[in-house]
């Protein structure tokens, strides 16, 4: 059985139990063992922290990686922001021996050392490269043929991974969604940011100029739901959707589904409806579109 250390990040482990449960069940179904370890801190997040203090950002990330190294397994990040931080730190310290020495001097004060022996993977890489699309299709018991989905890639899928192929991870995202049988509909602003990062600086501006605009275009596309891979995007599009509706006097009612929940639906897991009940924009109606599910 393939094994990985799992890095959940702050949002999934503290706020979005539905994403964690779906992920655990999906990887178990696919024959992948994910191992939790104690001691991880925030990755830290790759937007504000990196700008505020780049050295501290690298040090905290290297500390997390040093914990993973003790288990002698590769690390799989479920959160795209965490992946960007940990993956970029791995690359930065791999390419600069001087920087690695500098960070390790800092880590020495807490009795840790980063060696560079653990490889960081995005969970999409695990799904596509290590498990494989054809293997995923074998586990689809309820093809989502009637479901029309709008893809929200999120900024981190384009700013992390292979700098020479920024569409690699978004393309993996597409491939996994298509494996479920769902139909991807285009709406014209797939690469538009959800607004979450900007909302930390100017909340109203972000909702008006990013989040609201995306909702309008997705609603016009006729999509049944929005599919995401990033928990911050999930928060912005699901939890803030009702805020946007009140702000502009418009009703959208578009369910927001994490990719691992979409796979759980396609795998026809029992009680998947309980996960969908945890959404602020209720998503249980999607089960009617795909033809119900096993007993709730």
User: Cα Rg for the chain, rounded, in angstroms?
Assistant: 19
Task: Supply the pLDDT for residue 50.
Answer: 85
> C-alpha 179: how far from its chain's center?
18
- Spatial separation of the C-alpha atoms in residues 203 and 176, rounded to whole Å: 33
- Spatial separation of the C-alpha atoms in residues 37 and 204, rounded to whole Å: 38
Domain segments of the chain as ranges: 2-123, 133-290
pLDDT of 1 strictly over 70: no
The SS3 call for residue 3 is strand
pTM over 0.75: yes
Q: Region 247-264: what's the mean pLDDT?
A: 97
pLDDT of 162 strictly over 90: no
By DSSP bridging, strand 256-258 and strand 183-185 are unpaired
Share above pLDDT 90 across residues of the chain, in percent, rounded to a whole number? 88
Q: Which CATH class is domain 133-290?
A: alpha beta
Q: Region 215-231: what's the mean pLDDT?
A: 97
Q: Region 165-189: what's the mean pLDDT?
A: 96
Hey, which CATH number is domain 2-123, 3.30.470.30, 3.30.9.10, 3.90.1200.10, 1.20.1050.140?
Answer: 1.20.1050.140
Task: Supply the pLDDT for residue 292.
Answer: 62
- Spatial separation of the C-alpha atoms in residues 44 and 272, rounded to whole Å: 31
Strand partners of residue 6: 76
| H-helix segments, the chain | 9-15, 17-29, 48-52, 54-69, 80-95, 97-108, 123-125, 133-138, 156-159, 168-179, 196-199, 203-206, 212-221, 231-234, 241-248, 259-266, 272-276, 285-290
Share above pLDDT 70 across residues of the chain, in percent, rounded to a whole number? 97
Question: Using one digit for the tens of pLDDT, what is the confidence trace for 28-80?
Answer: 999 999 999 999 999 998 888 888 899 999 999 999 999 999 999 999 999 99
Q: Region 247-263: what's the mean pLDDT?
A: 97
């Amino acid at each position: 059985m393939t094994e990985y250390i799992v890095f959940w990040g702050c949002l999934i482990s503290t706020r979005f139990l539905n994403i964690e449960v779906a992920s655990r069940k999906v990887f178990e179904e696919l024959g992948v063992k994910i191992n939790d370890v104690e001691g991880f801190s925030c990755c830290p997040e790759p937007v504000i922290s990196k700008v505020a203090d780049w050295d501290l950002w690298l040090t905290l990330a290297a500390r997390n990686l040093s914990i993973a190294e003790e288990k002698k397994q590769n690390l799989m990040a479920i959160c795209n922001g965490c992946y960007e931080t940990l993956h970029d730190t791995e690359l930065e310290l791999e390419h600069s021996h001087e920087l690695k020495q500098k960070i390790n001097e800092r880590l020495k004060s807490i009795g840790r050392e980063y060696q560079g022996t653990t490889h960081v993977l995005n969970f999409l890489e695990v799904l596509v490269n290590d498990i494989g699309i054809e293997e995923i299709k074998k586990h689809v018991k309820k093809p989502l043929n009637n479901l029309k989905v709008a893809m929200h890639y999120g900024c981190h899928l384009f700013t992390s991974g292979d700098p020479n192929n920024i569409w690699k991870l978004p393309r993996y995202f597409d491939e996994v969604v298509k494996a479920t049988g769902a139909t991807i509909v285009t709406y014209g602003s797939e690469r538009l940011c959800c607004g979450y990062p900007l909302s930390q600086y100017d909340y109203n501006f972000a909702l008006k100029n990013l989040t609201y605009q995306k909702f309008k275009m997705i609603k016009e596309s006729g999509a049944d739901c929005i599919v995401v891979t990033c928990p911050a995007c999930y928060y912005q599009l699901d939890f803030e959707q009702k805020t946007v509706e009140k702000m502009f006097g418009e009703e959208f009612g578009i369910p927001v589904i994490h990719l691992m929940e979409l796979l759980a639906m396609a795998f026809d897991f029992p009680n998947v409806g309980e996960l969908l009940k945890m959404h602020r924009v209720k998503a249980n109606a999607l089960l009617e579109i795909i033809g119900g599910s096993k007993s709730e």
